[in-house]
Amino acid sequence: MEEQKKPRKPVISYWIIALCIFLLLQAFVFPNLFNGRVKEVGYDTFISMTENKEIGSVQIESSQITFTDKDEKQVYRTGVLNDPDLISRLYDSGAKFEAEIDNGTSPLVYILISYILPIALMVLVFYFFNKKMAQRMGGDGGSMMFGMGKSNAKVYVKSTTGIKFQDVAGEEEAKELLAEIVDYLHKPERYKEIGASMPKGALLVGPPGTGKTLLAKAVAGEANVPFFSISGSEFVEMFVGMGAAKVRDLFKQANEKAPCIVFIDEIDAIGKKRDGGQFGGGNDEREQTLNQLLTEMDGFDGSKGVVILAATNRPEALDPALLRPGRFDRRIPVELPDLQGRIDILKVHAKKIKLAGNVDFAAIARTAAGASGAELANIINEAALRAVRLGRSCATQEDLMESVEVVIAGYQKKNRVLSNKEKLTVSYHEVGHALVAALQTQSAPVQKITIIPRTSGALGYTMQVEEGEHFLMTKTEMENKIATLTGGRAAEALIFKEITTGASNDIEQATKLAHAMVSRFGMCDEFGMVTMEATQNQYLGGDASLSCSMETQTRIDQKISEIIQEQYNRATALLQANTPKLHEIAKYLYEHETITGEEFMQILNRPQITAQPAAQ
Ligand code: ADP
Ligand code: MG
Ligand code: ZN
């Protein structure tokens, strides 16, 4: 990718060059300063050396006396005293001596040469480099010294990113909205004729890794206009006011280059809500920067053709002033890809690696439910790496499937050896999950069960795969999911009459689900349709803050444990009724370590054989 970027580091080296020039100059103007031969001595030494006839030559100047020893090897210097006998004493000693001839060099000239000239030279050097840098940036010239307060925006000119909309898979709505903006910048007359004006700003919102930055780069690649790209954090400066200056500079440049696009990535770094400032005045610098941004966005005239794009995964944290009409009034959601989107993203990235012919993208996409574009790109890359590791010339379906697990659950931990007893416990635990899932009609079928430990810490896991996509979940489905989560612990308790720490993650997830049922989805009769929490980071895990009294909170907690207990009992009952199958499948898993969904269903559906616990 070719981009024009102002180098930052070289500023330091320019300083060093200038310092060298200064030192060199000093060396010529005050040669003595760098001459180790000059030795400062007192006037008494001078007199005694004169009397002892140790002096070679003497030069008397208006403010100092420089003299040498007999062999003229060592140069001495001393001050001038009112000494009427000096001349006769020198004459007696036989030294050569002379006075400085005042040929009209006034102190003014002296100061000029030794101080002002070097400084002037230094300024000139800086001005020169500054101007050079500004030219490289395509800017106007060194308006500010040393690049401080400069926006540092990367400027992409004329589709140099090489990324086009076709490189972004899925996200059709987002692409459509962005394509409209590109179209407007290319043919503004068509819009003006009708009287339509483009929104000044568009905000790309969505979870991390869904391709927001990529989309913006694609816009740069599609639009034949300059594209300024800067990250919100680059505005955050050490000095108060610097960030605001950068914003000003960015918009100044953008106005000059209009029509153009300005892209501010991770805008939440500067666009966070301004607080009342009751705690020590808040963050002054950030607020100033934000205020400047707001002012600039109001200041320019939309018809000029400057469009501002921004991306964030925390839209709710943004200052409301940024979102009001006239600023970022177009919101472009960039969501996690659906099944088709995942297939398309896999295909886009698969072009970059060598693949075996029989790869089934749909199967991989189905397994990787909930994965973001970035994770899918990673899955493809991991598969290629695995193929190399295993000495293959192309990546196969198996590589891809394994790398899905790597991305979801971490690498296989070959050197962690579980004791047989532990392995057996994990087998029953995982089969407990799978069996409960399979026995509930609405639960998704099992894709794979494994008891090979992973680097993420999981000792085994059950991979469930939804056949189709779901956008709504019924209450029964949520309950079934909780039952499945409790299935692991239920199996342990049922078979070993003892429970282990292996269920911690299940407990966490089950609690989250039950919590959401009560406080967010109104799925419990006691509270009904009352929301008791507000989601805060919908794209970043969705922290929620409770908005209810302590008393209600206690009741919520109680309700949650009731829900989970109920499902736990149901899971236990299901397993109890199918204990022979539990033994059979757990035994099989214990022996094979990994079983596929088909094997699992086969064992589950074949006629019952006599119940027999797995080998202890
Ligand atoms: P974010 O939304 O966090 O800005 P990025 O745009 O940085 O995400 O995406 C990271 C990487 O993930 C991209 O460089 C690309 O390789 C991959 N990616 C994400 N979404 C897509 C997509 N829709 N199509 C193709 N690749 C994608
Ligand atoms: Mg990004
Ligand atoms: Zn579990």
Query: What 3 state SS string does 445-505 have?
Result: CEEEEECCCECCCCCCEEEECCCCCCCCCCHHHHHHHHHHHHHHHHHHHHHHCCCCHHHHH
DSSP code per residue over 83-123:
-TTHHHHHHHHT-EEEEPP--S--HHHHHIIIIIHHHHHHH
Which of these ranges, 246-250, 309-313, 562-566, has the smallest mean pLDDT?
A: 246-250
* Complete edge-to-edge strand list for the sheet that includes strand 260-265: 154-156, 227-231, 260-265, 306-312, 201-205, 330-333
- Give 149's pLDDT tier (boundaries 50, 70, 90): low
- Expressed in angstroms and rounded, the spacing between residue 46 Cα and the centre of ligand 3 is 95
User: Pairing between strand 227-231 and 201-205?
Assistant: unpaired
Is ligand 1 within 6 A of the CB of residue 266? no
Look at residue 157 in the predicted model and tell me its pLDDT: 52
What percent of the chain has pLDDT above 70?
80
Q: CA 263 to CA 327: how far, in whole Å?
A: 14
- Expressed in angstroms and rounded, the spacing between residue 556 Cα and the centre of ligand 1 is 39
Looking at the CA of residue 341, tell me the nearest atom of ligand 1. Answer: 23
User: Who wins on pLDDT, 353 or 60?
Assistant: 353
Which of these ranges, 312-326, 329-343, 446-460, has the smallest mean pLDDT?
A: 446-460
Check if 375 is active-site: no
Q: Is 420 within 8 Å of 612 (Cβ atoms)?
A: no
pLDDT tops 50 at residue 62: yes
Nearest CA to ligand 1 atom 25: 168
Look at residue 127 in the predicted model and tell me its pLDDT: 85
46 CA to centre of own chain: 70
User: Who wins on pLDDT, 412 or 34?
Assistant: 412
Average pLDDT over residues 406-431: 80
Average pLDDT over residues 105-114: 77
Which structure tokens are listed for 581? Answer: 């199958």
Give the torsion through C-alpha atoms of 465, 469, 472, 477, to 10 deg: -20
* Tokens 């532990």 belong to residue: 422
Look at residue 138 in the predicted model and tell me its pLDDT: 45
Look at residue 553 in the predicted model and tell me its pLDDT: 83
Closest-CA residue to 211 (of 365, 348, 316): 348
Q: Write out pLDDT tens, residues 485-534.
A: 999 999 999 999 999 988 888 999 999 999 888 888 888 777 777 766 66
Look at residue 224 in the predicted model and tell me its pLDDT: 80
58-67, 400-409, 579-588 — most confident range: 579-588
To the nearest whole number, what is the mean pLDDT of the chain?
Answer: 80
User: Who wins on pLDDT, 128 or 210?
Assistant: 210
Which of these ranges, 6-15, 21-30, 53-62, has the smallest mean pLDDT?
A: 6-15
Q: CA 137 to CA 151: how far, in whole Å?
A: 11
Catalytic one of 430, 492, 533, 584: 430
User: Who wins on pLDDT, 567 or 457?
Assistant: 567
Give CA separation, 388 vs 128, 384, 429, 515, in Å: 51, 6, 35, 45
**CB neighbourhood size of 279 (10 A):** 8
pLDDT tops 90 at residue 483: yes
Helix/strand/coil for 605: helix
Which of these ranges, 264-278, 302-316, 405-419, has the smallest mean pLDDT?
A: 405-419
Region at 410 (left for phi over 0; alpha for psi -120 to 50; beta for the rest): left
Is ligand 1 within 6 A of the CB of residue 216? no
Look at residue 141 in the predicted model and tell me its pLDDT: 38
What is the phi/psi pair of residue 172, to 5°? Answer: -60, -40
Look at residue 76 in the predicted model and tell me its pLDDT: 86
Which structure tokens are listed for 86? Answer: 């000096």
Look at residue 145 in the predicted model and tell me its pLDDT: 43
Look at residue 604 in the predicted model and tell me its pLDDT: 85
Average pLDDT over residues 45-73: 82
Average pLDDT over residues 298-310: 80
End-to-end CA distance of the chain: 60
Closest-CA residue to 366 (of 337, 333, 409): 337
Indicate which ligand has the atom closest to the C-alpha of 350. Answer: 1
Is ligand 1 within 6 A of the CB of residue 502? no
Indicate which ligand has the atom closest to the C-alpha of 334. Answer: 1
Helical segments of 138-163, H only: none
Look at residue 343 in the predicted model and tell me its pLDDT: 92
User: Mapped to the 3 state alphabet, what secondary structure does 172-201 carry?
Assistant: HHHHHHHHHHHHHHHCHHHHHHHCCCCCCE
User: Who wins on pLDDT, 72 or 582?
Assistant: 582
- Expressed in angstroms and rounded, the spacing between residue 210 Cα and the centre of ligand 1 is 5
Is ligand 1 within 6 A of the CB of residue 218? no
Average pLDDT over residues 139-156: 51
Q: Is 409 within 8 Å of 460 (Cβ atoms)?
A: no
Q: Write out pLDDT tens, residues 538-560.
A: 666 666 666 677 888 888 889 99
Is ligand 1 within 6 A of the CB of residue 371? no
**CB neighbourhood size of 269 (10 A):** 19
- Expressed in angstroms and rounded, the spacing between residue 332 Cα and the centre of ligand 2 is 14
- Give 111's pLDDT tier (boundaries 50, 70, 90): confident
Q: Write out pLDDT tens, residues 367-380.
A: 887 788 999 999 99
**CB neighbourhood size of 98 (10 A):** 9
Helix/strand/coil for 49: helix
What percent of the chain has pLDDT above 90?
17
**CB neighbourhood size of 446 (10 A):** 26
**Long-range contacts, 359-365 (Cβ 8 Å, 24+):** 359/395, 359/396, 359/397, 359/400, 360/397, 363/397, 363/401, 364/397, 364/400, 364/401, 364/404, 365/339
What is the residue type of 326? Answer: G
Is ligand 1 within 6 A of the CB of residue 213? yes
Look at residue 161 in the predicted model and tell me its pLDDT: 65
Look at residue 612 in the predicted model and tell me its pLDDT: 52
Average pLDDT over residues 255-279: 78
Which of these ranges, 22-26, 69-73, 106-110, 306-310, has the smallest mean pLDDT?
A: 22-26
- Give 571's pLDDT tier (boundaries 50, 70, 90): very high
Which structure tokens are listed for 163? Answer: 């990324």
Sequence-separated (6 or more) residues with CB below 8 Å from residue 613: 495, 583, 587
607 CA to centre of own chain: 55
Give the torsion through C-alpha atoms of 58, 62, 63, 65, to 10 deg: 0
Q: Write out pLDDT tens, residues 203-232.
A: 999 889 999 989 988 888 888 888 888 888
- Give 186's pLDDT tier (boundaries 50, 70, 90): confident
